[in-house]
Amino acid sequence: MGGYIARRLLLAVPVVLGILFVTFLVRAVIPTDAVTAMYEGQITDQEAEATTALIRAKFHLDQPWYIQFAYYVRDVAHGDLGESVRLRRPVSEEIGYRYVNTLILTLTALLIGIVVGVPAGIIAAARKDTWMDVTAMTVGLLGISMPAFFFGLLLILVFAVWLELVPVVPRGGAALLLPALTLGLIEAAPISRLARSGMIEMLRRDHIRAARARGMGETAIILRHAVPGTLLAILTVVGLQFGQLLGGAFIIEVIFGWRGIGELAVKAIQWRDFALTQAIILVSAFSYLGINLVIDILYVWIDPRVDYSRA
C-alpha cells in the first residue's frame, strides 16, 4: 500500500508541473492587464504606461518567459499566489475564506446528492421494470439533461416567489439552502443511475443466487451483499462529482450570490486581474488533482482484491 501511494505521488509531479505551466500561460491570453482595466478613462496614456511599467517590473513581467515561470514556481512553492492589483492585497487572503465557502457548498450539495441518489438507485434496481424504476430513471434523466442554472432559477421561482418559504436574497444559513439543493439534486441523477446499474449487475452474480437458494431474504441480500459490492463504483463517481462541483459551481454561486471562488473568478475575469485569475485556476486544478488522488487510494484500500504492486 505504501509503495502504491508513493508511485501515485510521483506520477502526480509532472501533472503538477503541467498545471503550473498552464496557469502561468493565463497572463499571455488575457488581452490587457488589470492596471489598464482599472484606470481606463481615469488617467492619461503616459500615466498608464508608467504605472504599467512599474507593475511589470515588480512581477518580473519584463523578463523572458522562462525566468517568469521560474519565479512563478518559486512563489507558489512558498505559498505566495501573488497580489491582486484590483483588490490591493495578497490573493491568498481573498481566496482563503471564499474557498471555504465553496467547500461548504460542495460538501452540502454532495451530501444531498448521495442521500437522494444512492437510495433512489438501489430502490430502482430492486424494483426493476416497475413504476418505481421508471419514475426514478425518468427523474434522473431530467436531472442529467437540465442545466444547473435553469434548475436554480426554477427553485428561486418556486420557493422564493411562489411559496415565499425563503427570501429572494437569503442571508445567513438560509443562503446555503437553495444553491446546495440545486447542485445536490442535479448531482443525484448520475449517482442514482450508476447505483442502479451497479446494483442490477450485482444482483445477477452467482453468490447472490446462492444466497437466494439458501433462503436469505431479499432485503438482507441487498443490504449485506449487493450494496457493499456497489460502493466502489459509487465512490468513484462521487469523487469525480466532488471535483467537478468544487471547480464548476461558478454559475450557481453567481446566481445565488454565494461568495465562493466561482463568484470571485467571474469578477477576476471582468477586472482582467491575471494574478487573481491564475490563483483561482491553480487552486481549482490542485483541488481536483488531490481529490482524484484520495479516491484512487481509497479505492485500492477498500477493495482487498487490488494488487498494489501492479496498481
Domains and CATH numbers, the chain: 2-90 (no CATH), 93-302 (1.10.3720.10)
pLDDT at 167: 72
Local confidence band at 116 (pLDDT 50, 70, 90 cut-offs): very high
CB 304, CB 135: distance < 8 Å:
no
pLDDT (tens digit, 9 = 90+) per residue, 142-195? 888 888 888 888 988 888 888 877 776 666 666 788 898 998 988 888 888 888
288 closest CA partner among 298, 280, 276: 280
DSSP string, the chain: -HHHHHHHHHHHHHHHHHHHHHHHTHHHHSSS-HHHHHHTTTS-HHHHHHHHHHHHHHTTTTS-HHHHHHHHHHHHHTT---EETTTTEEHHHHHHHHHHHHHHHHHHHHHHHHHHHHHHHHHHHHTTTSHHHHHHHHHHHHHHHS-HHHHHHHHIIIIIIIS-SS-SS--TTHHHHHHHHHHHHHHHHHHHHHHHHHHHHHHTSHHHHHHHHTT--HHHHIIIIIHHHHHHHHHHHHHHHHHHHHHH-HHHHHHHT--SHHHHHHHHHHHT-HHHHHHHHHHHHHHHHHHHHHHHHHHHHH-TT--TTT-
When comparing pLDDT for 250 and 169, which is higher? 250
pLDDT at 111: 92
pLDDT at 209: 83
φ, ψ of residue 84 in degrees (nearest 5): -75, 120
pLDDT (tens digit, 9 = 90+) per residue, 132-143? 888 888 888 888
Residue where the block lists cell 482524484: 292
How far apart CA 87 and CA 94 sit, in angstroms, is 9
Task: Return the CA Rg of the chain.
Answer: 24
Count CB-CB contacts under 10 A for residue 70: 13
Whether the predicted pLDDT of 21 surpasses 80: yes
Whole-number percent of the chain with pLDDT over 70? 82
Average model confidence (pLDDT) across the chain: 79
Count CB-CB contacts under 10 A for residue 19: 19
φ, ψ of residue 107 in degrees (nearest 5): -65, -40
pLDDT (tens digit, 9 = 90+) per residue, 35-75? 555 555 555 566 666 666 776 676 676 778 788 888 888 88
Local confidence band at 251 (pLDDT 50, 70, 90 cut-offs): confident
Whole-number percent of the chain with pLDDT over 90? 2
How far apart CA 85 and CA 286 sit, in angstroms, is 23
